[in-house]
Amino acid sequence: MRISEWFESRTGLGSAIAKALDEPVPGGARWQYVFGSVLSFLFMQQVVLGILLAFYYSPSASQAWASTAYLNDQVTAGWFLRGLHHHGSSAMVVVVVLHLLQVVWAGAYRAPREVNWWTGLAMGGLVLAFALTGYLLPWDQKGFWATQVATGIMGSVPGGEPLQQVIQGGPEYGNLTITRFFALHVFVLPIALGGLLFAHIALFRKHGVTPPAKLSDAELKRTTQPFWPNQLFIDVLGMTICAAGLIWLTYQTHGAELFAPADPASNFVARPEWYFLFLYQLLKYFEGPLQIVATMLLPGAVAVTLFALPWIDRATSRRASARWPALSVIGLLMAGVTALTALAIVEDARNESYQHGLVVAEEEAHRARTLALEGVPPEGGIAVFDNDPKEKTRKLFKEHCATCHTIEGRGGEEAPSFDDYGSREWLFALLRDPRSKRFYGGTKAHTTMEPVAVKDASDEELHAVVEYMLSLSGPEVGTTDATLAATGKTLWDSKLECSGCHEVEAGKSGTGPTLAGRGTVAWIGRVIRNSAEPDIYGDTAEMPKFADKLSPAQIEALAAFIGSQREAKKTAAH
Amino acid sequence: MSHKRDLPEEDAHAMPAEDLSPEAASRRKLLKLGVGALGCGLAAVPIVPALGYLVHPLRSGPGAEGALLAVGKREAFGATPVRVDLYSDRRDAWNRESNVKLGSCWVVERDGALQALSTSCPHLGCAVDFDAAENKFKCPCHRSAFDLEGKVEAGPSPRPMDTLDLEETNGLVAIRFQRFRQGVPAKEPV
């Protein structure tokens, strides 16, 4: 006995497959029948790709982004498999719509196929639920913020809040949100879709294809072809075209986008995936108490209409010309969805702040993903920014300096604040009120400098003095107005009593700090090392010497960080 | 029932007599070949990249030799074995962890010199314990026993306990943590 015969006699697999393939197609194999097969193929491909992604993906609020960035940017072919899975969901939505339109056009929702129509609608809903749950899983800015909107809508409808909390696993997003979305996305939804698909195909086999209405029974019978191989060949061609399109799209876009890790403190420009844009646009027209029209009533009405389509259609013939009311309902619906989607796209294209937000988001994504190549600290996604040398310096500042000094709005008031440190405004305010908490007010020893009162120097005159002081610092702190600086020098030398304490030339030292090179990175570095140098604060120095506590590189980084505050506001204002 | 005309007639489900002409037969054969070829192509789309994807962790090869990790002062160790944990920074797939436990080892003085023995049993990797009553190292899993130098005295271990690099500088002891292949007579780093 040959092995194949032995296997067949023990399992009956061959005859089972033969039976499954043995399906007459009245009227012959046709292209318009491919959509269901293409959807089955896409679903299977999504399952395979999803399982592959699960080999690297870690569903927790602290690890999801880092593991996704790792699988996308470091694992061999990871970007390709993730890209196929991402675009595969778009492809499923497109083919679901095509399938629905074909079914409506052919009148296949009519008796006796109502239950098949309903299982199809339910599966369409599941495809959207897949998209919604999958969008959050990378835990990046886009998924996080767009999904917040979706669950927020859920919570805003009457009685929806408990449901929202159950789905989120609490009042806000966290580990429980991601484990729930993960369980739904990889277990509940695939099992539900698989079960419905089985019922859908069984019902399809029971009732057969819905051939063109114009063919007579005799004509249908005469042109009947077998499913295998005639229809299946066309189906597989359809799948191939779909797969080729997906591969092309995946290469073109270099896989799926991955934005910076979810940051609950940021203001990200959230948009849903393109196939939800019509709902997003609809929401713009209904505000306040009317919001429920866009979130529940209209979508609910559409769902009920689709469900009731077999009864809305009262025509006695299946010919399209006899069914214009039902076809118009679907036509209007599609036109509405298309128009709303187009409006959303056009409005975003013209929305400058959105476009700017996108550019910022992409830059941040690039920065985060580059830093992630060094490994993400286990605390979680946004901790990836700790890899940035700037962040390391910030931490260093927090550990060693922030007890006394403020920077970026945080820190102690025992010593001068570094917010806007070295800017014209900072110097001006210092001269007017050195004993302010912002400057030396919190120190014990720096009490000797007298404020420059308005009667001694008008605002205009003091600005000139500031310009002169900046010119002493040298070109590193920026270009200065020479004329204004010259006026300032005259005031400095004659009217004001600055030179009594402050020398202006390098190498000399007075009671107060010498002003040559003051505020430059090198000068700040010297202060950090030892502020008691005679040309800096001398005997009045209170600050600890850091020369032995920090490495030269650390001191240089801190000095550059403090020196950059002059420019910080300018950059932030952009 | 008004929709009766949509119901297929019973005999519409029956296949018409198959066209047995040689042209039709060769056309069917071509279609079947086409289905097979395209089907294999479709399956290859995720499967081929998946091969490289799944074995990606093997591409990095054996880990680079780790740094010497400080474990304590020289005086802390003597003829009675002391177990020390080894801490270091580590890359674990997507994570960069700082100061995490890599593993542990026994430190024991023999003839005036310190020796570090990995706690990982060369047999199958269980954590080897010290039995103070018998003055022996014993593996709790499969009854391997080792003397204080790490030599096998009993049980299935294929080689002595693995020694780790140990250095003493200025009274401080530092050890290089390494893992070795299990179950083989030769000591090969992994």
B46 in contact with A, Cβ within 8 Å:
yes
What is the rounded CA–CA span in Å between residue A548 and residue A540?
Answer: 20
Tell me the pLDDT tens digit for each residue of B30-64.
999 999 999 999 999 999 999 999 999 998 765 56
Closest C-alpha to A555, from A513, A522, A506: A522
Contact A443, A542 (CB under 8 A): yes
State residue A369's pLDDT score: 97
Tokens of A567: 């420019």
Range from A149-158, A423-432, B57-66 carrying the lowest mean pLDDT: B57-66
* CB-facing half-sphere around the CA of A473: CA atoms within 13 A: 24
A52 in contact with B, Cβ within 8 Å:
yes
State residue A468's pLDDT score: 93
A112 in contact with B, Cβ within 8 Å:
yes
CB nearest A24 (choices: B14, B46, B53): B14
State residue B4's pLDDT score: 45
What is the rounded CA–CA span in Å between residue A227 and residue A22?
Answer: 6
Who has greater pLDDT, A482 or B10? A482
What DSSP line would sit under chain B, residue for residue?
Answer: -GGGGGSPPGGGGSPPPP--SHHHHHHHHHHHHHHHHHHHHHHHHHHHHHHHHHTGGGGG-SPPPPPEEEEEEGGG--SS-EEEEEEEEEEETTEEEEEEEEEEEEEEEETTEEEEEESB-TTT-PBPEEETTTTEEE-TTT--EE-TT--EEESS-SSPPPEE-EEEETTEEEEE---B-SSSSS--B-
Work out the mean pLDDT of chain B and round it to a whole number.
Answer: 88
Tell me the pLDDT tens digit for each residue of B66-96.
789 999 999 999 999 999 999 998 899 999 9
Amino acid at B120: S
A524: three-class secondary structure by DSSP: helix
Element (H, E) at A177: helix A175-183
Tell me the pLDDT tens digit for each residue of A255-309.
999 999 999 988 888 899 999 999 999 999 998 889 999 999 999 999 999 999 9
Tell me the pLDDT tens digit for each residue of A299-353.
999 999 999 999 999 999 999 999 999 999 999 999 999 999 999 999 999 999 9
CB nearest A236 (choices: B5, B38, B47): B38
State residue A164's pLDDT score: 95
With 0-12 / 13-18 / 19 or more C-beta atoms within 10 angstroms meaning exposed / middle / buried, residue B61 is: exposed
State residue B61's pLDDT score: 61
A25: three-class secondary structure by DSSP: strand
Query: Hey, are the CB atoms on B31 and A222 less than 8 Å from each other?
Result: no
Tell me the pLDDT tens digit for each residue of A540-561.
888 999 998 999 999 999 999 9
Find all residues with CB under 8 Å of A303, minimum gap 6, and list them.
Answer: A121, A125
Q: Is the pLDDT of residue A387 over 80?
A: yes
Q: Is the pLDDT of residue B11 over 70?
A: no
The pairing of beta strand B145-146 with beta strand B136-138:
antiparallel
A480 in contact with B, Cβ within 8 Å:
no
Amino acid at A125: G
**Within 10 A of B30 (CB to CB), how many other CB atoms are there?**
12
State residue B1's pLDDT score: 40
Element (H, E) at A226: strand A225-226
Element (H, E) at A24: strand A24-25
Burial A11-36 (b: 16+ CB within 10 A, else e): eeeeeeeeeeeebbbbbbbeebbbbb
**Within 10 A of B1 (CB to CB), how many other CB atoms are there?**
8
State residue A410's pLDDT score: 87
Residue A507 gets the label, from left (phi > 0), alpha (psi -120 to 50) or beta, of left
A477: three-class secondary structure by DSSP: helix
Three-state SS string across A310-348, please? HHHCCCCCCCHHHHHHHHHHHHHHHHHHHHHHHHHHHHH
A547: three-class secondary structure by DSSP: coil
A503: three-class secondary structure by DSSP: coil
List C-alpha distances in Å: A125 to A45, A92, A129, A351: 19, 12, 6, 31
Tokens of A393: 């310096």
B9 in contact with A, Cβ within 8 Å:
yes
The stretch B105-115 carries a mean pLDDT of 93
pTM recorded for the entire structure: 0.82
Query: Hey, are the CB atoms on A240 and B15 less than 8 Å from each other?
Result: no
Contacts of A84 in chain B (CB under 8 A): 45-46
A164: three-class secondary structure by DSSP: helix
Contact B189, B180 (CB under 8 A): yes
What is the rounded CA–CA span in Å between residue B85 and residue A77?
Answer: 38
pLDDT band at B15 (very low <50, low <70, confident <90, very high): low
Q: Where are the alpha helices (DSSP H) in A2-59?
A: 3-11, 13-21, 34-54
Q: Is the pLDDT of residue B9 over 60?
A: no
Work out the mean pLDDT of chain A and round it to a whole number.
Answer: 93
Query: Hey, are the CB atoms on A229 and B6 less than 8 Å from each other?
Result: no
State residue B37's pLDDT score: 97
CB nearest A52 (choices: B9, B28, B53): B53
What is the rounded CA–CA span in Å between residue B120 and residue B101?
Answer: 14
List C-alpha distances in Å: A385 to A130, A251, A572: 31, 29, 18
The alpha carbon of residue B115 and the mean position of all alpha carbons in its chain are separated, in whole angstroms, by 27
Query: Hey, are the CB atoms on A375 and B91 less than 8 Å from each other?
Result: yes
The stretch B135-154 carries a mean pLDDT of 95
State residue A574's pLDDT score: 40
What is the rounded CA–CA span in Å between residue A491 and residue A459?
Answer: 13
Tokens of A214: 């114009």
Tokens of B105: 């080892």
What is the rounded CA–CA span in Å between residue B39 and residue A125?
Answer: 28
Contacts of B54 in chain A (CB under 8 A): 52, 55
pLDDT band at A422 (very low <50, low <70, confident <90, very high): confident
A248: three-class secondary structure by DSSP: helix
The stretch A366-384 carries a mean pLDDT of 93
Sign of CA dihedral A144, A147, A148, A151: negative
A225: three-class secondary structure by DSSP: strand
- Could you tell me which chain A residue has the CA closest to the CA of B53? A76
B110 in contact with A, Cβ within 8 Å:
no
Tell me the pLDDT tens digit for each residue of A503-520.
998 888 888 899 999 999
The alpha carbon of residue A113 and the mean position of all alpha carbons in its chain are separated, in whole angstroms, by 42
State residue A409's pLDDT score: 85
Three-state SS string across A37-49, please? HHHHHHHHHHHHH
Q: Is the pLDDT of residue A222 over 60?
A: yes
Query: Hey, are the CB atoms on B45 and A84 less than 8 Å from each other?
Result: yes
